[in-house]
A and B are shown apart, each in its own frame.
Chain A
Amino acid sequence: MKNTILILLVSLVSLTACSKENNDKESELVRAVFDPGNLKFISNSLNPKKKTMSALYGNEKALESLSKENQAPGAGTVMKLVTWRYHDNPQYIGGTITGELVSIETVQADHLGKISYDIKNSLAQNNSPDKEERVDYFMSYRPVSRP
């Protein structure tokens, strides 16, 4: 009996401890790496005015649409633009490096070519960007050149 009470007590304590730990974990600072799922890196950009850098990811259809310099994403396109704030590199004067994650924008064209746009922002979303403008902006990217 004593043992049962002890086990119950211990598990209660450890369970509470666990949930608290999870809460702490969520607000704990980490070194984040964006997981693009099955999308691939296509290109990137740097905005000196906003002090941000963005990486554009997409599927094969996205790559095709951007390579062909199409005006609009072809049916089946999925693209994500991940934007980070950048800082002076703390380890090297003369360099910058990405820091806080700012937003993730998604542009998709369904099988009929209907385009949708979505933005997830780190700050409270008070002004939602113009969809057409953002889609045009996505389409201004060209896949990076390399051997």
Chain B
Amino acid sequence: MDTTKKKTNPIAIVFLVIIGIFGALQLFSRPLEGKAVTGKIEAPKEVISILENSCFNCHSNQQNLSWYDQIAPVSWAVNKDIKRAREVLNFSEWEKLSPAEHQGKMYAILNMMQSGKMPLHEYTLLHPSAKITEKDIETIKKYTLSLSSVSPSTQKKLETPQTLSVVSTPASAKLPVSPNGVQYTPDFKNWKVISMSTLFDNSIRVIYGNDIAVKAVETENFYPWPDGSIVVKSVWKQQALPDGEIRPGQFVNAQFMVKDSKQYQDTEGWGFAKFSGDELHPTGKTASFAKESCIACHRQLAEKTGYLFDVPMKVNTQKLIQNLQKK
């Protein structure tokens, strides 16, 4: 009897110590900041039900956390994830976004789900009921694609766009600078075009690369992209000709990605910038704006091509190019 008592005592002590440590940890656990629902997302019932079940716990102000999510140290990680998730996308503050942004967010959601990046694997391990099915993705896809037809941004009538010289510079000598230090330069108009693309928002895009970036593409040396690479995407609204052909219409923005692995460590070494309208107004209020917006999608969906979406496809042969480029 005595011997067993002696054996259990140390175990009991260890147990008590662990309980004590856990108890002490709770003192350092600050509850998640409660925020009001100012404008919940509006969508068909079946869409809302998927979002509520798989996304709302992090991407909204309506958390329905399990007891183990609220115990330190798990709660620390959970609270940090939620704070970040809300910054990127918050279904409870949907009214803060424009209809065009709603559409953009839905495409981002669809892409994240389709590629299996969201909901996070770590999350579904502890919350298996949040897993999404193929059917869920189909539902989200159907709804997202239905938003495209609503967007009226294709200009049907062909107005003569302002004709400007390809190499012209803005009238003011002062070039706009993004809050993170990326400066606009009109030099990209003289760079090589690496690809062309379109997006659901009825835009047409031309992607330019500086010499370093072009060399990286051609030699497939972009794991990681060399410092000094700059890629610029110039975006226009689509303008339809009577025969259905599409040409670039009004200028929308120029999007820069500048590779500097030291300066932009938080965003995989890329400095993001967007200069919009004829004023080339830079996007972002603080230097860290890209951490909350741009990199979230680039990191999850474009990792294969060094976080760039519009790297030319690997579909042409050297022989063909040589033959076609011959004079």
Contacts and interface: CB of A to CB of B under 8 A. Distances in A.
Contacts of B304: 91
Interface stretch (A1-9, A10-18, A33-41, A127-135): A33-41
A37 to B, nearest CB: 9
A51 to B, nearest CB: 11
Chain B: number of interface residues, binned into ranges: 35 or more
Interface string B254-295: 100000000000000000000001111000000000000000
A31 B245 CA distance: 26
A146 B251 contact: yes
A33 B217 contact: yes
Contacts of B200: 94-95
A90 B313 contact: yes
Contacts of B204: 44, 46
A73 B304 CA distance: 43
Interface residues of A, number: 54
Interface string A44-74: 1111110001010000000100010000000
A25 interface: yes
A42 B321 CA distance: 21
Interface string B301-327: 110110001111111111111111110
Residue of B165, B314, B315, B326 ringed by the most chain A CB atoms within 10 A: B315
B27 interface: no
A89 B324 CA distance: 25
Interface string A109-138: 000000000001110000000000000000
Contacts of B277: 147
Contacts of A55: 193, 196, 206
B166 A97 contact: no
A147 B199 contact: no
A47 B245 contact: yes
Contact of A35 (B192, B199, B209, B238): B192
30 contacts: A25-B318, A27-B317, A28-B317, A28-B318, A29-B315, A33-B194, A33-B209, A33-B312, A34-B193, A36-B192, A44-B204, A47-B246, A48-B246, A55-B206, A93-B107, A93-B114, A97-B195, A97-B196, A97-B197, A98-B195, A99-B315, A101-B320, A101-B324, A122-B320, A141-B247, A143-B164, A145-B164, A145-B250, A147-B164, A147-B279
Closest CB pairs A-B (n = 9): A145-B161, A94-B200, A26-B319, A46-B246, A32-B316, A31-B312, A146-B251, A94-B107, A120-B324
